[in-house]
Amino acid sequence: MRIRRTIQAIMSAGLLLMAGFHGVGYAQQSPESSQENSNRGVKNIVLVHGAWADGSSCSKVIPLLEAQGYHVDAAQLPLTSLKEDDDATQRAIARITMAYPGPVLLVGHSYGGVVIGDKPGNDPNVAGLVYVAAFAPESGESALSLLETLSAAPPIQQYLLLDTAKRFLTISPQGVADAFAQDLSKLEQVTLTATQGPTAVAALSAMPTVTPAWRTKPTWFIVSAQDKVITADLEERLAERMNATTITLPTCHVAMLQEPSRVAEFIVRAATSLRGQ
């Protein structure tokens, strides 16, 4: 209740609480037979970024996956509502399966975890879900309500700003440097600040519209030990609730930019453990 009251206060004053972000990159590679490597696990991967981000947040991971023969697409979310973010992700799933028929592994970072657990994750083409420092709400929960379960508000709270219409949130440059990407270089922090996508409060407050996909599909989870947005404690609890295969990396919230090789390696581990077409 404390966090919900904080949000209401912010919407009448000027600062808010939230978590989520990330990005996803955009990738393509030359066509190949849809039968190639069909028995060596899932070859199609759709990346879903979180709040305050765009596709560039997975720019370091995408080439690593492509180099190993994976087909990668990044769902570019409008960050205006869960429904519209779901729709954007489902279009990405449709694109990649049209080009390369076969099952898909969905990867969601931060708020992207809300999206992959909703309608996109329940798509029959989706074989498994990977959460990267992400939210994984149950029915009746949202990203914001999960934050309310923390004993103390996450550090990011003090750096979140509402627009004049009190509908969209952004993170201040100081917040990116101190609580969002504190372990990255100054150049990367500046880039993340400039490319962030304003995120609707409605999206962060949205609850799953269907039974969460993680209830029925294999799941993997990367916990970011130095996360000041969602916190490692909450991520660990969510991973345990899902019975996800889990690893912990010594990273800030944007693990895919700080440790791209280890994140890519974990995604490949998930993809190869699933059955191909």
Q: What is the C-alpha separation between 205 and 114, in angstroms, rounded?
A: 10
Q: What digits encode the pLDDT tens for the residues 34-64?
A: 344 445 699 999 999 999 998 889 999 999 9
For residues 221 and 46, give the distance between their C-alpha atoms in angstroms, rounded to a whole number.
16
Query: For the residues 172-196, what does the mean pLDDT come to?
Result: 97
Mean pLDDT in residue range 111-127 = 98
Q: Is the model more confident about 210 or about 277?
A: 210
Q: Is 130 helix (H, G, I), strand (E, B) or coil?
A: strand
Q: Residue 32 pLDDT more than 50?
A: no
The structure's pTM equals: 0.87
Mapping DSSP to helix (H, G, I), strand (E, B) and coil, where does residue 75 land?
Answer: strand
Does residue 202 register a pLDDT over 70? yes
**Percent of the chain's residues with pLDDT above 90:** 83
How far apart are alpha carbons 76 and 58 in whole angstroms?
12
Q: Which residue spans within the chain are E strands per DSSP?
A: 15-16, 44-48, 71-75, 104-109, 126-132, 160-162, 168-171, 199-200, 219-224, 245-249
For the cut 70, the answer to whether the pLDDT of residue 18 exceeds it is: no
